[in-house]
Amino acid sequence: MASTEATSPRTGVLSRSQATAFRRGATMLVMSLVLPGSAQLAAGSRRIGRWGVRVWAVAVLALLLALLLLLAARNVLLTVLTTGWVLWVGSWLVLAAGLFWAFILVNAWWAARPKDMGTTRAAVLGGVALVLAAVVSYGTVLTSSALRASGDVISSVLGGGGDTAVKDGRYNILLLGSDAGNDRQGTRTDSVTVASVDARTGRTVLFGLPRNLEDVPFPASSPLYALYPNGYGCATHECLLNAIYKLGWDNKKLYPGVKDPGVQAVKEAVQATTGLQLNYYAMVDMYGFKDLIDALGGVNIDIGIQVPVGGDQATAKSFIEPGPNRHLSGAEALWFSRQRTGSTDYARMQRQKCVMSAMLHQMDPMTVATKFGQIASATGQVLVTDVPSGQVGTLAELAVKARSLDIKNVIFSPPLIAPGSPNYALIRQTVADQIAASEALDAAARSVKPSAAPTTSAPTTAPSTSATAAVTGKRSAFVNESVAPTSDSLAGECAAR
């Protein structure tokens, strides 16, 4: 009896001491989560603690710098994030910092002297430390891999080669949609659009060229000019604009040292057709771009007609139903963009531009930031471009500006242009007139004093007489599948957001 009374106080003191050590260890783990290295500075290896705090301080400063750039110089941040080697180096730095953090968590448990906690408490806290270290390590490895993969994709996609010089105050970008289906030989560019963007304001004019345009001219400087001095035409009427990409590859010997003779041939033809000097091109695989749409989380579009999927109105198994602010998946957006059965090439061109407009308005910085890995991965599968990484920030800033302005939309369709016998002089004149009208809007906006009453829109310079006669006014592109050759606001027709 006396022996029990003697040992009980000692047992109680030991239990309280072990509980205190356990609470101390738990506190050190929390400290290591919030501020890596702080636990070691309080009790442990001060050298490890100092390195932990330094690494954490550098990480916080980097995040603050990124936030500052996001608010004050978004184009600079985007340029950094779209530089392949920066992401590659960053991936290894993130991996090293994350694994060091995991080590600090386990070391904090050890520095808390687990032998003073008792076997059970030490095992529990050790298990918690290992779980936390594993979670940090796993997240770090995933982040590092995503950054490295994104860097590889960006390095391959943004290889450069385009013309960075501004053309009469504008960037002219050729947008191609390639369609290499199983039922055809070779790739065909069934969607051909030129986006002419003001280099200061971002105000944009889109020029859509029909896929079935015949007798497409080549400039005298083109190697294909010698073969087709009167334009790309043939008696069977199969020599169309959408076949020029294949024509370039068929004559690749005429383009020694050119990475993609097909794109080069299309660029030359479009420049001769529109009279515009192109800066860059971007070619999207129409079968693969659904992955890009899905990476964005889908796209929202106002739809005015029922669009059949996989056939015509009689044979289709499903339909994209009309309605405001309809959310489309990547596969649905692909059908909406490509469907021509029971429709026209010109209505399809309009739908494709509406999808482009919707993507422009929905690819906000937050969406890109949160889904950067998925977007980069999808982009690498579907996009080929000659935009250099150093220009991405500039173009992205112009895209942000363009979102707040009406996009002028011009489609060279009947009655303005007959694709079988096109008036190329009229096409070039219309391009010049519409760009002049767009620039007049910017000039009018600059001349308005801040104190002046706001107006709904600035007056537009009238296009040429022949072009004006062909314009019947704004109409919905999807009400009856008729398309006006020009529209002052693509967003007004598409109502995409």
Span 347-388, pLDDT tens digits: 777 777 777 777 766 666 556 655 656 666 666 666 788 988
Place of tokens 């957006």: 333
Long-range contacts of 122-128 (CB under 8 A, 24+ apart): 122/22, 125/22, 125/25, 125/26, 125/29, 128/26, 128/29
Confidence of residue 338 (pLDDT cuts 50, 70, 90): confident
- State residue 340's pLDDT score: 67
- State residue 383's pLDDT score: 76
DSSP assignment, residue 454? Answer: P
Q: How many CA atoms lie within 13 A of 140 on its CB side?
A: 19
Q: Which residue has the higher pLDDT, 298 or 179?
A: 298
Strands 170-178 and 280-285: parallel
Q: Which residue has the higher pLDDT, 317 or 61?
A: 61
Percent of the chain with pLDDT strictly greater than 70 = 79
The C-alpha atoms of residue 178 and residue 242 are separated, in whole angstroms, by 9
- Type of residue found at 408: K
Assess whether pLDDT exceeds 50 at residue 5: no
- State residue 113's pLDDT score: 87
Percent of the chain with pLDDT strictly greater than 90 = 39
- State residue 150's pLDDT score: 78
Mean pLDDT (whole number) for 3-14: 60
Strands 299-303 and 323-328: antiparallel
- State residue 243's pLDDT score: 92
Length in residues, the chain: 497
Assess whether pLDDT exceeds 70 at residue 420: yes
- State residue 377's pLDDT score: 64
Assess whether pLDDT exceeds 70 at residue 10: no
240: helix, strand or coil: strand
Place of tokens 């979670």: 135
Residue 145, φ and ψ in degrees, nearest 5: -65, -40
The C-alpha atoms of residue 28 and residue 107 are separated, in whole angstroms, by 10
Residue 371 sits at the vertex; the CA angle it makes with 388 and 80, to the nearest 5 degrees, is: 35
- State residue 461's pLDDT score: 37
Q: Tell me the per-residue pLDDT of 223-241, one tens digit each, with 9 for 90 and over.
A: 999 999 999 999 888 899 9
Q: Which of 178-182, 355-359, 393-397, 418-422 shows the lowest per-residue confidence on average (mean pLDDT)?
A: 178-182
The residues that bridge with 177 in the sheet, in sequence order, are 191, 284
DSSP assignment, residue 485? Answer: S
Assess whether pLDDT exceeds 70 at residue 418: yes
- The domains found in the chain, sorted by start residue, are 10-157 (no CATH), 170-443+459-494 (3.40.630.190)
Assess whether pLDDT exceeds 80 at residue 129: yes
The C-alpha atoms of residue 277 and residue 172 are separated, in whole angstroms, by 7
- Type of residue found at 28: M
Q: Which of 57-71, 133-147, 291-305, 348-362 shows the lowest per-residue confidence on average (mean pLDDT)?
A: 348-362
Mean pLDDT (whole number) for 241-259: 94
Before 415, cis peptide (omega within 30)? yes
- Type of residue found at 120: T
Q: How many whole angstroms from its chain centre is CA 305?
A: 28
The C-alpha atoms of residue 267 and residue 213 are separated, in whole angstroms, by 15
Walk across the sheet containing 383-385 and list its strands: 383-385, 280-285, 170-178, 189-198, 204-209, 408-411, 486-487
Assess whether pLDDT exceeds 80 at residue 212: yes
Whether 132 contacts 29, CB under 8 Å = yes
User: Counting beta carbons within 10 angstroms of the beta carbon of residue 336, is it exposed (0 to 12), middle (13 to 18) or buried (19 or more)?
Assistant: buried
Assess whether pLDDT exceeds 60 at residue 488: no
- Identify the CA nearest to 112 among candidates 40, 52, 179: 40
Residues of the chain by 3-state class (helix, strand, coil), percent to 5? 55, 15, 30
Q: How many CA atoms lie within 13 A of 220 on its CB side?
A: 0
Helix (H) or strand (E) holding 401: helix 389-403
- Identify the CA nearest to 195 among candidates 216, 165, 175: 175
Whether 158 contacts 392, CB under 8 Å = yes
Alpha-carbon separation of residue 370 from 141, 485, 494 (angstroms): 17, 38, 27
Query: DSSP characters for 293-353?
Result: HHHTT-EEEEE-S-EEESS-TTT-SEEE--EEEEEE-HHHHHHHHH--TTS-HHHHHHHHH
- Type of residue found at 458: A
- State residue 375's pLDDT score: 67
- As a whole number, the mean pLDDT across the chain is 80
